[in-house]
Amino acid sequence: MHILITGTAGFIASKVAELLLDEGHTVTGVDNLNDAYDVRLKEWRLARLQARPGFRFQRLDIADRRALRPCFQNSPPDAVINLAARAGVRPSVQDPWIYLEANVTGTLNLLELCREFDVKKLVLASTSSLYGASNALPFREDANTDRPLSPYAASKKAAEALCYTYHALYGLDVTVFRYFTVYGPAGRPDMSPFRFVQWICEGRPVTVYGDGRQSRDFTYVDDIARGTVAGLRHLDYQVINLGSDQPVVLMDLVRLVEELAGRQAILEFRPAHPADVPATWADIGRAEQFLGWRPQVPFRQGVERLVDWYRDNRDWAREIETNSR
């Protein structure tokens, strides 16, 4: 198959591309290489992909329909995996417009081009942030998602709604994945696993928002990539959680990194952000039912791999900026 992957220099998308290439598929990757976070990580991931046969890259913004059109016109893909997005709760509060452009307009452009060029399958990356703070744990896909707490969550809600519309109107086969907190080697530097590893290894203060007792459903990136590829099968329209089903308290992550790094964290507590939720926890029953998917990498093993990657790349990873822009 020929797969178009958007956001291909991103954390999840680069792993999905690697997995598809391993399986013998051809991949066209697009990414605008924006500065949402330190671009050196994106360049590192992209360089690994560009060394692979069967991979082609085009630098473009999916919010620019005219630039995106040739990806369909010249060699229409068999399927589209839309992993391009502006992600992150707190930055979306500061600049909501760019989130709507990437996550809503970009998704609409892809849907329209799928319709025009008769592409039958689209996979959309969505987020556990849709569940907000008022739903019962663990989060089920049929929970109320009408009260998003951030522009990021609202933009993903809009993208999901557009996907359903194109399924209903044109029969587009759509799989929507609500990813829970994804971590692993070369992960996003604005998220706590990367930050904690860098800050503790370098003896820098570790900023903890709130009291550190909030919990997150940390899910290893290879498991997420495997589930995403499984979503290419025919499913009509399905919304599916991908998570570990094993929430971890934030301070337990700090203690584990301390143990693996052999250094004690210098903790600095700050007030919790109103857009943050106290807990996330995925019900993964649908993933098991429709995909036969369960996570395989235990949390400790995943963090060990992250710490090992950081040590192997410390000469430049220590300089990565850990604040989103």
Give the phi and the psi of residue 4 in degrees, each rounded to 5.
Answer: -95, 120
Catalytic residue positions, numbered: 152
Give the phi and the psi of residue 185 in degrees, each rounded to 5.
Answer: -55, 140
Strand runs labelled E in 180-264? 182-183, 205-209, 215-216, 219-220, 237-242, 248-249
Give 108-140 pLDDT, tens digit per residue: 999 999 999 999 999 999 999 999 888 999 999
Q: Is the pTM of this model over 0.85?
A: yes
**Token pair for residue 118?**
């008769």
Selection from 113, 116, 103, 115 nearest residue 159 by Cα: 103
How far is 4 from 158, CA to CA, in rounded Å?
A: 22
Domains and CATH numbers, the chain: 2-182+219-244+281-296 (3.40.50.720)
Q: Is 269 helix (H, G, I), strand (E, B) or coil?
A: strand
What is the mean pLDDT of the segment spanning 178-194?
97
**Token pair for residue 202?**
């370098």
Give 52-81 pLDDT, tens digit per residue: 999 999 999 999 999 999 999 989 999 999
What integer pLDDT is reported at residue 256 of this predicted model?
Answer: 98
Selection from 179, 78, 158, 85 nearest residue 122 by Cα: 78
Strand runs labelled E in the chain? 2-6, 26-31, 55-59, 79-82, 121-127, 173-179, 182-183, 205-209, 215-216, 219-220, 237-242, 248-249, 266-270
What is the mean pLDDT of the segment spanning 253-263?
98
Helix axes 299-312, 192-201, angle to 10 degrees: 50
Q: Is 273 helix (H, G, I), strand (E, B) or coil?
A: coil
pLDDT category at 89 given cuts 50, 70, 90 is confident
Selection from 109, 110, 85, 89 nearest residue 98 by Cα: 85
DSSP state of 5: E
Q: Is 153 exposed, middle or buried (0-12, 13-18, 19+ CB in 10 A)?
A: buried
How far is 145 from 129, CA to CA, in rounded Å?
A: 9
Question: Can the peptide bond before residue 138 be classed as cis, meaning omega within 30 degrees of 0?
Answer: yes
Which of 89-98, 176-185, 305-314 shows the lowest mean pLDDT across its residues? 89-98
Residue 325 scores a pLDDT above 60: no
What is the mean pLDDT of the segment spanning 163-182?
98
Answer whether 136's CB lies under 8 Å from 146's CB: no
